[in-house]
Amino acid sequence: MPDTPEDSKLTRTKSRWAELGRFLTGSTSRPEDTRLPPGQHLVRNWPVLDLGQTPDVARENWRLDIAGAVEHPTTWTWHDFTSAPQTRKLSDIHCVTSWSRYDNHWDGVTTQDLTEAVQPTADATHVLLTSNDGYTTNLTFEDFTSPEAILAHSWEGQPLPLEHGGPVRLVVPHLYFWKSAKWLRRIEFATRDHPGFWEVRGYHNRGDPWSEERYS
């Protein structure tokens, strides 16, 4: 049995990196001719990063609550999710631990289509994601509904591997990858910000890789 997320070795190491400012280059320029954000290096593999617990939810038992400041709160089953409009997106991954991975094809439901389905109220300003491993992360409404963001069930045309957040994870490619919640269980629209797991442990509240928003 892994340690609780609170005192796992990785959590302690990453909290320490936040204190030390590990991987910060101090560069905030965005050269037009490169895809790679400052302080990042390219990898060809796809590393696994999480709190050390891999929840295994069968598709027939999978549920996604969409709640909070919305006109039509709902709980989607797998059937509901796969019956919603399906989209393919192509994007790069930028992890705060300094690796980036180009050209990932994701299939699923865009956050814009999901948002359209539940009709957030006019005062909804933020979104809090909660996952089946207890992980949480927060986004502004605008970042959550960015045009490239998708709730992905497939990667490279295959079902999303369990270790990468299957059956369904969020992908918000314009922010560091910790904002992309794996094993998604609940999406809560809110009228104020609720900092998530890493955001209360020294990581930046927004996490824009282009301006190196690694730590708070």
Q: Which stretch binds ligand MTE (CB under 6 A): 34-42, 43-51, 61-69, 74-82?
A: 43-51
CB 138 within 8 A of CB 127: yes
The CA-atom distances, in angstroms, between 196 and each of 79, 88, 94, 131, 136 are 29, 28, 19, 11, 5
Q: Give dist(CA 135, CA 131) in Å, integer.
A: 5
107 binds, among Mo ion, ligand MTE, none (CB under 5 to 8 A by kind): none
Closer CB to ligand MTE, residue 94 or residue 126?
A: 94
Closer CB to ligand MTE, residue 142 or residue 163?
A: 163
Q: Give dist(CA 55, CA 42) in Å, integer.
A: 28
Q: Which residues contact 175 (CB under 8 A, 6 or more apart)?
A: 139, 143, 206, 207, 208, 209
Q: Which stretch binds ligand MTE (CB under 6 A): 65-73, 84-92, 172-180, 205-213?
A: 172-180
110 near ligand MTE, judged by CB under 6 A: no
Instruction: Give the count of residues interacting with ligand MTE (CB under 6 A).
Output: 18
Closer CB to ligand MTE, residue 2 or residue 47?
A: 47
Q: Give dist(CA 183, CA 134) in Å, integer.
A: 10
Structure tokens at 140: 């502004």
* Out of 43, 49, 57, 84, the residue judged to bind Mo ion by CB under 5 A: 49
Q: Which stretch binds ligand MTE (CB under 6 A): 48-56, 83-91, 112-120, 146-154?
A: 48-56
180 near ligand MTE, judged by CB under 6 A: yes
Instruction: Give the count of residues interacting with Mo ion (CB under 5 A).
Output: 3
Q: How many CB atoms lie within 10 A of CB 147?
A: 10
Q: Which residues bind ligand MTE (CB under 6 A)?
A: 46-51, 95, 131, 133, 135, 164-165, 177-178, 180-183
